[in-house]
Amino acid sequence: MKASQDFIKQLELLYEQYEQEVTEKLKAGILKDTTAKTYLTHSSNFVRWCRNDFVPGDRNK
């Protein structure tokens, strides 16, 4: 794990808020599907990287 459990917990809570905001912007027509998907995929990968569950460039689960 690259980060402490406390940090991961806080990060996951913030990610949930971020995901909601992106989803709201998508529903409001402010973001396109592909843009929202990109935002969520890359931010999710960052959270996974912090959990030591993702390696950039490797084949991931």
Among candidate residues 60, 42, 51, the one with its CA nearest the CA of residue 11? 51
Among candidate residues 39, 7, 46, the one with its CA nearest the CA of residue 23? 39
**DSSP letter assigned to residue 60:** -
Q: What is the pLDDT of residues 1-60, one digit of tens each?
A: 678 999 999 999 999 999 999 999 999 999 999 999 999 999 999 999 999 999 998 875
Contact (CB, 8 A) for 5 and 44? no
pTM of the entire predicted model: 0.85
